[in-house]
Amino acid sequence: MVAREKLNLLKDRFGTAIQRADLPAEDRLFVFIDRASVREVCRHVFRQLDARYIISIGADDRPHSGHFLVAHNFAFDRDHLLASFLTQLPADDPKLDSITADVPAANWAEREFRDLVGIEPVGHAYPKRLVLPDGWPEGMHPLRKDVPWNHVPEGFDPDREFKFDEPPEGCTVVPFGPFHPTLDEPAHFRLYLEGEMVRGCEYRGFMVHRGIEKLAESVLTYNDIPMAAERICGICGCVHNVAYAQAVESAAALEIPPRAAYIRTIMLELERLHSHLLWVGLACHIVGFDTLFMQAFRIREPVMWIAEKISGNRKTYALCVIGGVRWDITPELKTELRQVLDKLETEWTAVVAAVSKDRNIQRRTRGVGVADARLVKEAGLVGPVARAAGVPGDARRDHPYAAYDRLDFDVITADGADVWSRVVVRMKEVFESIRIMRQCLDRMEPGPLALDIQDELPVGRMGMSSVEAPRGESHHFIITGENNRPRRWRVRAPTYQNLQGVPAMIKDQQLADMTISLGSIDPCFSCTDRMETVDIRSGAQRIWSQEELLRLVRRR
């Protein structure tokens, strides 16, 4: 049993620092460690055992155990094991050593639980606010249990400007975003330019944090949350819907019916198809190849139509309940889906041939936005960004779920580590998705769509689920709770990690390559309610609030 072997290795190395462990399945491991040993254990797991960092979670568990809780989640991909390393912190001293110096990919996650839960990562090299605005009062942490979900703190100043770092000497500041004509969502990169070359940047996001996790533990119930999870991302809705359901099922030791597993797989791959088609079209648009942009969108449309016929909606499928799925795929839909896949395969082959031979696309993408295997490891990059650097990570194979362990498919990789390699990976993955869906249609047998769950779900159990979204691994962590809802639910989308690699990807390259480099991670940002303007005559900068923008528009 792989989980037992890893646990024994850790016990041999750290002795009594390993306080206790839960091994609910062969592919899941929860290890509680002494607070003083957190950094040393995580360094060993990340460096010596070569685990991949996933996310760190802070939780306010005071109403139940009297403590705060921190979990550092890692993946042993070759061993098909997800592991969580947890420690409890005293209610009156919620501090622990930062692991970021040894595990750089934990940078944002530690800053986030400092903001939202009030757990201090001692020794973090850059403990600047990440999620909370500068006008948020000190000492108010919205994910603590004693803060209501709809609470507006006294002393909140929505107009206080965010304090950016000072630019390097000799560099000009150029704000990239939050609104940019070639990006469909807001993103704010403060670029430091020397001439036309980018020498550094500072990213500012989370301007409208929607608080979905807080709603889940305060207002929603287990079967309400999949609908909210779908709205985390405008493209990967089914991914989050399935990942959440699987995290709960993992915690409660529920195994869904085989037919439901195949239907989840089909809908996830249908989502991957329309996402990759969308991305290749937008990438062509960014570099000025609008003919292929329009072709990609034309080819994508039948995929959206068949999704609507199966679920009633083009995009948000409302697929999962805990223990199964809502929608069936009838014999008539099977036939039509096969026809859609046949036509898509023929038309996509022509698109791939056109893109692969186009010299202008290759000039704009080869050697641009490089993220090599070392950066993938250090920053925790996932999905096509990692696979384009020759790192063959794919949760469908490494941590199989739904029906993927019953299917044959290849993990597509490339070795250029640049934008062009990410184009190649996504184009080829379309064919693998078609192959996967055909196998599902062939092997799916009649049977129930969901379990008949009569009893309440167990309380205080932990579950983890990794699902391979089109952009990379989406990871959900859950602690089951009372009142038919979780105590804690933490979502880590792939863009959360991939954005942390962008500063290294754009450093020392031309400003003109910024957009396609950023676009190559297929970023998904939350909406924003502020923007920055620069007076080109005086150089004066200003942050506009939502209220000011509304007044400006109405006046005009």
Per-residue pLDDT reduced to its tens digit, 64-109: 999 999 999 999 999 999 999 999 999 999 999 999 999 999 999 9
pTM for this predicted structure: 0.92
Q: Is the pLDDT confidence value at 537 over 70?
A: no
Q: Is the pLDDT confidence value at 196 over 70?
A: yes
* 3-class secondary-structure state, position 121: strand
Mean pLDDT score across all residues of the chain: 92
* Fold match, 2-161 / 212-492: no
pLDDT value at residue 204: 85
Q: What is the mean pLDDT of residues 241-267?
A: 98
Of 159, 160, 142, nearest to 151 by C-alpha is 142
pLDDT value at residue 134: 87
Q: Which CATH number fits domain 212-492: 3.40.50.920, 3.40.630.40, 3.90.1300.10, 1.10.645.10?
A: 1.10.645.10
Domain 2-161 CATH class label: alpha beta
Per DSSP bridges, beta strands 81-90 and 67-76 are antiparallel
Spell out the residues 6+ positions from residue 165 whose beta carbon is closer than 8 angstroms to its own: 202
Domain ranges of the chain: 2-161, 212-492
Please state, in angstroms and rounded to a whole number, the distance separating the CA atoms of residues 370 and 416: 8
| Residues shown for the chain | 556
pLDDT value at residue 211: 82
Q: How many C-beta atoms lie closer than 10 Å to residue 167's C-beta? A: 19
Measured between alpha carbons, how far apart are the two ends of the chain, in Å? 68
pLDDT value at residue 529: 31
Please state, in angstroms and rounded to a whole number, the distance separating the CA atoms of residues 112 and 58: 8
Amino acid at 383: G
Spell out the residues 6+ positions from residue 322 whose beta carbon is closer than 8 angstroms to its own: 222, 223, 245, 248, 249, 252, 254, 453, 457
